[in-house]
Chains A and B, each alone.
Chain A
């Protein structure tokens, strides 16, 4: 199920602008890795290079290697579409398909992935995925209602259900709680704790308490100045990053003495 991510020498551009430079790190399977750092430091850009979503932005291109177990996502002949079927993603703002019901939203990915399942199998998949996203109890009586009619927190869990329904190897989350209230945030954080039993999870967050609560490893990104590329400052066990980081800039950032 879950796979290891091995990044080496990764640099990403928007046109001629270098957004992140020379990033290397390893993400262990069945763990949660949090990316923290100031706005504009490239952590979301880096996240989006891990499922080749970066290159859908006009001008976006990448140099370097991302190995998923032993397969280079940027190798010659690798289809970005199949990469994204293996590496799922949850976005900052909940984005269920507005024209689809809850049920259709969950099976959207499976329908894409060429699966032509029988109704009973689809039903089982929907229940399993919604349960996996801790949403089943709240929506089981209204699966045919539009997904956009749910609350923000429920919509985000629906998006997680949609992402895990295709059984990805890795789940990327780009500030999944930043548009949610504290109670919904807590629900998602609990969910992340459960999901890491099955998936490799990478989460970008602006909330350092959240990084401390949910992650096993934390990576701190920073940039030298405006217009400079973002760089990975350090990656270490979360506990160590928040108690005794090895780089002074990390300590300054997490203790609020940044800038």
Chain B
């Protein structure tokens, strides 16, 4: 039987003098195993990250050294041609714009749903509603893509016509006949896809609003909306930002749904409702199979840009959250 070297101390007895040497001996095997496991996991994470970064950088560098166009400004993706000419301008534009449209639609709706579930809906309605929202997250993205292509696209014509009637004069929402397989449609589809994650994180944050803060607002004569404005929203602010960034991360990287719905083209339309455009992830998925060695490297280079973009978005979110840290509850 394993007898620990440290003398057993009766409860209530004065603590023995701390002895550095003995304290070191007293670590139990379980502690050592757990320490090794958790430290190993941490190191493993760093190794994997480094491996991905090295892989992306090396392959991307190879592609860039052969690129005859400007990688950032060229409106073309002919990586398999001779000479190879490719640039990410269209992909970057398409990725950012479709994700921003998705955010603009999904975040307000998600906050609304989360507030409704936590502060307005009777419990009998709130619980099933939460389940439905979570269920949306369980739908595979290819299913969203099929739904988008077969249902959403044919049904969006009326909306497009309406947008054109009211906002066509702005130019960016001008619509001429054609299949609505545009960045705007992608934005709507992505909004539906990121809705569950933004909603459920916001819901958990709002639910944790301290009761005493809400009562403080109520006792000052706040209406229900004012309670939300004074106590709930400020308290949940950083959580909602994190939730939105999680959603944005998903929107930026979404592949199958976009590839199914979009009719890709390497031009930037004047209007968001013009068909065409592309995103990083969609372009990789659509072009990977027909690509040669260099073509694959070029796609990897575009993947590296997406990787950096996501990193920047996360960094920005952290900065926003940290800036008001002293006010954090």
Q: Which residues of A contact B (CB under 8 A)?
A: 51, 53, 56, 81-86, 88-89, 91, 93, 95-100, 108-109, 112-113, 145-146, 148-149, 159, 162-163, 166
Contact = CB atoms under 8 A, between A and B. Distances in A.
Given A91-B219, A99-B329, A148-B327, 15 more contacts: A51-B219, A86-B221, A88-B220, A91-B212, A91-B215, A93-B212, A97-B216, A97-B231, A97-B234, A98-B328, A100-B327, A108-B220, A149-B326, A162-B220, A163-B220
A81 B222 CA distance: 6
Given A162-B220, A163-B220, A112 B230 contact: yes
Contact of B327 (A51, A98, A112, A166): A98
Contact of A91 (B216, B230, B231): B216
Interface in B312-326: 324, 326
A53 B328 CA distance: 27
Contacts of B220: 84-85, 88, 108-109, 112, 162-163, 166
6 contacts: A51-B219, A98-B234, A99-B324, A108-B217, A108-B220, A148-B327
A154 to B, nearest CB: 16
B219 A148 contact: no
Contacts of B218: 53, 56, 84
Secondary structure at chain B's binding surface: helix, strand, loop or mixed? helix
Nearest to A98: B329
Contacts of A95: 210, 212-213, 215-216
B235 interface: yes
Nearest to B229: A112
Contacts, number: 78
Contacts of B324: 99
Contact of A112 (B212, B222, B326): B222
Interface in B222-271: 222-223, 226, 230-231, 234-235, 237
Interface centre among B210, B220, B231 (most CB of A within 10 A): B220
A88 B219 contact: yes
Contacts of B237: 99
Interface of B: 210, 212-213, 215-223, 226, 230-231, 234-235, 237, 324, 326-329
B221 A85 contact: yes
Given A56-B218, A98-B213, A81 B327 contact: no
Contacts of B234: 97-100
Nearest to A92: B212
B77 to A, nearest CB: 47
Contact of B226 (A83, A96, A112, A163): A112
Nearest to B210: A95
B327 A84 contact: no
A148 B329 CA distance: 8
B48 to A, nearest CB: 38
Contacts of B221: 81-86, 109, 112-113, 166
Interface centre among A112, A148, A149 (most CB of B within 10 A): A112
A53 to B, nearest CB: 6
Nearest to B326: A146
A145 B212 CA distance: 21
Contacts of A86: 221
Nearest to A105: B216
A109 B230 CA distance: 10
Contacts of B212: 91, 93, 95
A149 to B, nearest CB: 7
A84 B221 CA distance: 5
A112 B230 CA distance: 9
A93 B218 CA distance: 15
B219 A99 contact: no
A158 to B, nearest CB: 11
Interface centre among B210, B218, B219, B221 (most CB of A within 10 A): B219
A100 B328 CA distance: 10
